[in-house]
Amino acid sequence: MAEPRTAVGAAGRRLLRRGARGVRSTFSKRKRLFAYLAVLGPGVIAANAGNDAGGIATYASVGADHGYRLLWVLIPITLSLGLVQEMCARMGAATGKGLADLIRERFGVRWTMLIMLALLIANGGITISEFLGIAAASEIFGVPRYVSVPLAAAAVWWLVVKGSYKRVERVFLVMALVFLGYIVSAFMARPRWGEVARALVTPYFDFHPAFLFTFLAIVGTTISPYMQVFVQSSVVEKDVTMEDYKLTRADVWVGTTFAMTVVFFIIISTAATLHTQTPPAHIESAADAARALEPLAGRYAGALFAVGLFGASMLAAGVLPLATAYSISEALGFEKGVSRSFREAPIFLGIFTSLVAVGAIVAMLPGLPLIDALLNMQVINGLLLPVILIAVLRLVNDREVMGDYTNGPLYNVAAWLTAAVVSALSLLFIVTKIFR
C-alpha cells in the first residue's frame, strides 16, 4: 500500500508545484499589467490628442478628396510619430526635465524664445480650432455655440485647475475611447480591401500646391509640436525614471499604434462613403464629415459624429493649453504642474487659463469656416515642426544631457530622416505657394 501512497504523494507534490508556478505566473502577469496601467497615460494621451478636431477634419478630407491614395503615408508617419514621442519621453525620464527646460539650458535664451514663440503661435491657433470643433459638435445637436463653448471652457478649466494630475489623466484617457466609432464604421462601409492593401504599399505624390497643402496638414496634425512638449512634461510630472522606463516606452508605442489605427479607419470610412460618390463629396462642414459614419449609425450618424468630435475636441482643448503652459513656464523657470494651486504656480495656471479663455472667445465669433480653419492650423503646425524636431534631436544626442541614453545609429538615421523630410516638405510648400 506504500507504493500507491508514494506515487499519489509524488503526483500531488508535482501538481502543487505546477499550481504554485501557475499562481506565481498569473501574479507576475497581473503585476506587470498593473504596473503598465500605473504609467499608462502620457503616450496614449499625447498621440490621441493629435486626433482632435483638426485631425478629424484633415483625415476626413483626405479620404473624401483622395480616396485611399494617401494611405501609404500612414506607415512612415506612424514610425516617425513613435520615434519622436519616444525620444521626448526618454529625455523626460533620463533628465527629470521638460523640453523647454533643456532647450533653455543648452541653447540659451534667444533660441528658447524663438522656439517658445513658434509653439505659442501654433498652440494658440489650434486651441481656437478645438473650441471650433466643440461649437460644431454642439450645433449638430441644436445647441448654439454661445452656450456650449463657455460651458466646455469652464469644464476644461475646472478639471485642470481644481483637479489632481491623476484625475485629469483618467478623464483624458476615457475621452480617447470616442474614436472607436470610426473603426466599426469603416468595416460596415464595406470598403474594397484589395484597393486599401494596394494603396498602403503604393506611394503616390503630386507637386500641386493643393496636394502639398493636404500632405503637410497630415504631417502637422499627426506629429504636432505640442505633443512632444506634453509627453515629456507628463513623464517628468509622473516621476518616471529610466528604471521603470520600459513601461513608459510601451505606453508611447501603444498610444501611437492606437492613434494611427484610428486615423487609418477615419480615412477608409470617408473614402468608402464620400469619395465613391459622383462627383466625390468635398467636406466643408461637420455635417459632411458625419456622413462617413452613416454605415454604422444611419440617420444617427450626425449625433455619433458630434459625440466623437466633442470628445476629441475636449481632449485636445485640455492638452494643448497644458502643453503651452508647461513649455513657457519651463522656459522662464517658473513653478509648474497640474497638482499645483494658483498660489504655487500662478504663471503656469495663468497661461493655461488665458489660452482657454482666448480660444473660447474667438471660437464664438460668427462666420468662422470650420473645416478651412482647422486645415490651415494643421499646415501651420507642419511648417513649425522642423524647428522643434531639430531641437529634440540635438538634445537627445547630447551626452552631457542624456548620459548613456542617447540615440543609437539606426535610431538616429530614422529620426534625422524624419526631420529632413518634414523640412523639405515645408520648404517645397512655401516655394510652390510663392511661385505658382
DSSP conformation letters of 173-188: HHHGGGGHHHHHHHHH
Instruction: Identify whether 12 is part of a domain.
Output: no
**Comparing 27-41, 148-162, 235-249, which segment has the lowest mean pLDDT?**
27-41
> Which residues touch 30 (CB under 8 Å, ≥6 apart)?
none
Q: Flag whether pLDDT at 280 surpasses 70.
A: no
C-alpha 148 chain-centroid distance: 24
Instruction: Identify whether 342 is part of a domain.
Output: yes
pLDDT at residue 34 in the model:
39
Count of structural domains within the chain: 1
Cβ neighbours around 271 below 10 Å, total: 30
Bond before 279 cis per omega within 30 degrees: yes
% of the chain surpassing 70 pLDDT: 74
pLDDT tens-digit map of 108-145: 888 888 878 877 877 787 788 788 888 888 888 888 88
Please name which of 289, 266, 275, 280 lies closest in space to residue 67, comparing C-alpha atoms.
Answer: 275
258: cell is 492606437
pLDDT at residue 366 in the model:
75
pLDDT at residue 37 in the model:
40
Q: What is the CATH number of the domain that holds 318?
A: 1.20.1740.10
DSSP alpha helix (H) spans, 163-244: 165-175, 180-188, 193-201, 209-222, 225-237
Most confident of 3-7, 90-94, 293-297, 332-336: 90-94
The CA distance from 5 to 20, in Å, is: 22
pLDDT tens-digit map of 305-348: 777 778 777 877 877 788 788 888 878 778 877 777 778 888 88
DSSP one-letter code for 298: G
Instruction: Identify whether 388 is part of a domain.
Output: yes
Identify which has the larger pLDDT, 237 or 403.
403
Instruction: Identify whether 211 is part of a domain.
Output: yes
DSSP one-letter code for 170: H
Q: Flag whether pLDDT at 35 surpasses 50.
A: no
Instruction: Identify whether 264 is part of a domain.
Output: yes
**Residues 305/290, Cβ–Cβ less than 8 Å:** yes
For residue 178, give its domain range: 53-435
User: Angle between the 370-396 and 99-140 helix axes, to the nearest 10 degrees?
Assistant: 160
C-alpha 111 chain-centroid distance: 25
Q: Flag whether pLDDT at 431 surpasses 70.
A: yes
**Residues 234/97, Cβ–Cβ less than 8 Å:** no
**Comparing 38-47, 62-71, 317-326, 418-427, which segment has the lowest mean pLDDT?**
38-47
Instruction: Identify whether 38 is part of a domain.
Output: no
Q: Flag whether pLDDT at 157 surpasses 70.
A: yes
Instruction: Identify whether 384 is part of a domain.
Output: yes
pLDDT tens-digit map of 345-374: 888 888 889 999 998 998 888 776 666 666
41: cell is 497615460
Tell me what the pLDDT averaged over the chain comes to: 77
pLDDT at residue 243 in the model:
86
Instruction: Identify whether 306 is part of a domain.
Output: yes
